[in-house]
Structure 1
Amino acid sequence: MQLTGFHYDKSSTWNEEQPNERPDWTLIFVIYGHCVYWINEKKQVLEKGQWLLIPSETPFYGRSVPTKIHEKFVLHVNAQAAQDIFPLLQQPSYTCRQTGKFDIIADRLRLIHRGWQDKQPYYMALCEAHLQELFVYLQREWDQAATTSATALLVEQMKGYIQNHYREHVTKDELGTCISRSPNYAASLFRQVTGQTISEFVHVTRIKTAVYMLRHSALTVTEIAEFIGYNDPSYFYRVFRRMTGLVPTELVSDRETIRK
């Protein structure tokens, strides 16, 4: 990974246009205020703590927000040798993220800036060592976000399964099969993300349906209980009261007039 350019901006009148296909990648990190970039005609507002990585050969334009001072570091990097190491450098489009490691990243950028300005012996080797360390932090955050997205997708798959089978006895084995994971992993992941056990979520789904049916259908309380999966009406009463603070008959008394 080779550093080919570095500058620090502090301005309220800055603007920059890169219409040509620059061979290097561009990394921008805002440490104060905010500014605006257009990449492939898409607008991207950058605020404090956000970084923007623009691939090589990608035209872009940027400017300050009028009358608003912002501060940022801008690096140009020949990343060819590092593309196999960092998946971020394999992305075909630009990447923008809010960092959770502001102080660490800002510190590394200040060290690179100082070295780039002072140009002491072996400064380039030191700057590029800091640069590679910086990309390790960025890549870790990117990976964590991707993992979070994948995890959320698995939970949504399980929720979808429950929505389609809530009238049945839904088990962790079935949800594990649904997401191609072990039953214990499925149960643990579901609780970690939703804050509810599988059983609790099933009850919530059933009771939501019961509330609607008690108000809008012509079925009796017992028929509704059986329809949503409770074969014992007294158990349905207990669950319903625990979750809503009401008893089913209270909703039946307020039921709409059903046209027959």
Structure 2
Amino acid sequence: MKVTSYTFDKSSNWYGEWQEGCQDWTLVLVTYGRCVYWIEEKKQVLEKGQWLLIPSSIPFYGRSVPTMLHEKYVVQFDPGTVQASFPLFKLARAASRSTSKYELILDRLRHIHQQWQDKQPYYQTLCEALLTELFVYLHREWDQEAATSATLQLVEHMKSYIQNHYREHVTKEELGTCISRSANYAATLFRKVTGQTISEYVHAARIKTAIYMLRHSALTVTEISDFIGYNDPSYFYRVFKRLTGLVPTDLVSDRENVRK
């Protein structure tokens, strides 16, 4: 699988047109707002959490919804030898779906974006490995169409609970109580649907907040670490490095001017 182009769009007046289609496949994930694509003259509205996969050589164009800001990642790639392994690459039409593995997919796309921008040695190999991993998760979800709306709703309840308590020590017992199920059932269901363990999801929520605070607050790294639930700053550094590839001080050095 070879990545040929990678962009992050943030715009309220974006427009793109490929009358002959692209020579490579195109994957889109909307992370904020909404945008519109016309694929072979069929309208497709994409909102946050939805992905779109367009085969090569299929004509399409897209644009922003007027006056509405949207953000999305767009990857163009050649599937290469993995094309025979993944059912989505055997389709002759575009495919789209909302993903319950949104945080996991977004994490991989952000990592690819960082590698694509930094262009460190072997970055292309790493980008292609991350993209292949991403498609493994998308295909698992694609194949697990049997997941009922009631089951997905239980997972959304657990996600909501974590968003409200991620600064605390969230346990599977608490999530089990949240959805009136056993702790082991809650943990197994959460991982099956999201592709992440409860701990991984909590760490991701904490680091997301940390990134914002490191860039836009006047708090020190230690204060931010304590605020989001890490009493040990050195542990916070290790988790941050593992999830973002950076250290907290990298963001502090670029911090905008703020006042306490």
TM-score (normalizing by structure 2) = 0.56
Partner of 1:8: 8
Cα distance between partner residues in 2 of 1:57 and 1:132: 21
Cα distance between partner residues in 2 of 1:55 and 1:40: 11
Partner of 2:25: 25
Structure 1 counterpart SS, 2:84: coil
Task: Report the Cα offset of residue 21 of structure 1.
Answer: 3.3
Cα distance between partner residues in 2 of 1:63 and 1:22: 17
Partner of 2:109: 109
Partner of 1:54: 54
Q: What does 1:106-255 correspond to in 2, within 5 Å?
A: 106-145=106-145, 147=146
- Aligned pairs, how many? 148
Segments ≥4 residues shifted beyond 3 Å:
none
Structure 1 counterpart SS, 2:132: helix
Largest Rg, 1 or 2: 1
Tell me the C-alpha RMSD between the 2 structures: 1.2
Partner of 2:94: 94
Paired letter, 1:8: F
Structure 1 counterpart SS, 2:62: strand
Task: Report the Cα offset of residue 22 of structure 1.
Answer: 1.9
> 1:85/1:106 Cα in 2 relative to 1: closer, same or farther (>3 Å)?
same
Cα distance between partner residues in 2 of 1:56 and 1:63: 19
Partner of 2:171: none
Cα distance between partner residues in 1 of 2:71 and 2:21: 25
Partner of 1:205: none
Partner of 2:67: 67
Task: Report the Cα offset of residue 80 of structure 1.
Answer: 3.0
Q: Does 2:87 match 1:83?
A: no
Task: Report the Cα offset of residue 50 of structure 1.
Answer: 0.1
Cα distance between partner residues in 2 of 1:82 and 1:136: 11
Task: Report the Cα offset of residue 82 of structure 1.
Answer: 1.3
Given that residues 24 and 55 in structure 2 are in contact (C-alpha distance below 8 angstroms), is that contact kept between their aligned partners in structure 1? yes
**1:94-127: CA deviations, max 9, x gaps?**
0000000111000100000000000000000111
TM-score (normalizing by structure 1) = 0.56
Cα distance between partner residues in 1 of 2:55 and 2:63: 19
Partner of 1:187: none
Cα distance between partner residues in 2 of 1:109 and 1:148: 25
Given that residues 21 and 60 in structure 2 are in contact (C-alpha distance below 8 angstroms), is that contact kept between their aligned partners in structure 1? no
Structure 1 counterpart SS, 2:144: helix
The answer for unaligned runs of 5 or more in structure 1 is 150-260
The answer for unaligned runs of 5 or more in structure 2 is 149-260
Given that residues 31 and 48 in structure 2 are in contact (C-alpha distance below 8 angstroms), is that contact kept between their aligned partners in structure 1? yes
Cα distance between partner residues in 2 of 1:148 and 1:71: 28
Partner of 1:248: none
Structure 2 counterpart SS, 1:29: strand
Given that residues 116 and 123 in structure 2 are in contact (C-alpha distance below 8 angstroms), is that contact kept between their aligned partners in structure 1? yes
Task: Report the Cα offset of residue 148 of structure 1.
Answer: 5.6
